[in-house]
Structure 1
């Protein structure tokens, strides 16, 4: 798909998603049935990592959590040509570096950071792995929404860091910001919610429940489509989206 070439990923474009799970085999069964994913073992990924494929193209990765005390989560990666420089700018903007840039073989360089309100996200400086092979199709990444305690501060933080991706000529961002209280209890901490495209949100939510997951927020209308918030059978939250 031409739109998914590495050159198309401006800095600040969501380019990959990764789930950290207690049981990768259980994750393969859940997402394989829900989205029709197949899987390829990735010895160059840490902690029993597997690459998820849709129609033979990479769409996500699943990894075993390094520590049982860590959250079971989906993490979004934003593209950058220079992870070291972006980490420097994140610090200056009031964010924090959780894990400094680290090469992952020849695949690329990754880092884990937070914004000024504490929402966690990752950076990806591509090597041989540019990111999604497919997106914006059923069973693939469609959107990421930041639910935050301060949308004005978030818009300033990300608008400065990722201006071209969000506001530049021809920008078609897959990234929105909204108050936590729009969807979740106000006391929930700021966080990113990864959305996967589906043809029928209600039917997909029913399938989540059949597979052992649960529905956190039933289907609702947003400015970018119909969404539902669900968790998988191990507690990782994500959203289903029909645009």
Structure 2
């Protein structure tokens, strides 16, 4: 598999899971995706488990670390590559977002900051030093898409357009109104509205999508290992997908793409 050595600014470069039980999360994701892992000591950031494909020395696909506070929920955080971290943070603030964790170096890997958009959806900004992000994407077992669920899609379109320069394109997938964000001709992320039929108080959030060879088999295996299936395997034009929460409550999706390139 060709390994990724650089992610373009404005694209999702990494997905990081925070978990109340890293050992249990490793077992779950190994069971669903066949991931392996190795431990990376990051000083003040603590230990980070790096998920890999094809053995512990294989290409990196995602990470997991322990929750800093047991009262916080388990979650997947999508990291977006930036060319200038400080300038992007200025845009986040000016556009109505918040910086929830000020920028800091993560060892010699890169510089990171955590943010939230005006509706409260969390995301991270990543300026790489020696770690560009995921070493493989858009292949089985790896991240292939990121998606925002928002209570105010129009404002989300405005905000992320200012922060990342994304252009919104209307689509009709499984939501009545779906936004496909693009950088140039390349699709980089999706947006769907949180509507009245969603669970009351459902928070705005980003989730990663991981490519699987068989969506139905992956959903069955995840359920056997303790996941809760929220959207069962469903056909849409881009492929067959399923949305779930892992045993700790972190939300993610899997998809078997219908095509091998993004629209």
Structure 1 residues 214 and 168: CA distance shift in structure 2, 3 A: closer
Q: Which residue of 1 aligns with 2:136?
A: 134
Q: Which residue of 1 aligns with 2:5?
A: 5
Alpha-carbon shift at residue 191 of structure 1 (Å): 0.7
Q: Which residue of 2 aligns with 1:213?
A: 227
Alpha-carbon shift at residue 183 of structure 1 (Å): 8.0
Indicate yes or no: 2:180 matched with 1:181: no
Alpha-carbon shift at residue 185 of structure 1 (Å): 2.8
Task: For 1:30-109, list aligned pairs within 5 A.
Answer: 30-44=28-42, 46-55=45-54, 56-109=58-111
Q: Which residue of 2 aligns with 1:28?
A: 26
Alpha-carbon shift at residue 136 of structure 1 (Å): 1.0
Let me know the Cα RMSD of the aligned residues: 1.9
Q: Is the 8 A contact 2:160 2:166 kept in 1?
A: no
Structure 1 residues 86 and 61: CA distance shift in structure 2, 3 A: same
Q: Which structure carries more helix by proportion? A: 1
Q: Is the 8 A contact 2:110 2:131 kept in 1?
A: yes
Mind listing any 5+ residue stretches in structure 2 that lack a counterpart? Answer: 168-180, 258-263
Alpha-carbon shift at residue 137 of structure 1 (Å): 1.2
Distance 2:71 2:126 in 1: 25
Alpha-carbon shift at residue 222 of structure 1 (Å): 3.9
Indicate yes or no: 2:195 matched with 1:196: no
TM-score by length of 2: 0.85
- Structure 1 range deviating more: 136-145 or 88-97: 136-145
Alpha-carbon shift at residue 2 of structure 1 (Å): 5.8
Count the aligned residue pairs.
Answer: 240
The CA deviation string for residues 147-199 of structure 1, in whole angstroms up to 9 with x for no partner, is 101111111111222126854434232x1011022983363121112111111
Q: Which residue of 1 aligns with 2:127?
A: 125
SS at match of 1:42: strand
The CA deviation string for residues 208-237 of structure 1, in whole angstroms up to 9 with x for no partner, is 011122212212244533211112121211
Structure 1 residues 169 and 2: CA distance shift in structure 2, 3 A: farther
Structure 1 residues 15 and 112: CA distance shift in structure 2, 3 A: same
Q: Is the 8 A contact 2:2 2:136 kept in 1?
A: no
Q: Is the 8 A contact 2:229 2:244 kept in 1?
A: yes
TM-score by length of 1: 0.92
The CA deviation string for residues 111-130 of structure 1, in whole angstroms up to 9 with x for no partner, is 10011111100110001000
Mind listing any 5+ residue stretches in structure 1 that lack a counterpart? Answer: none
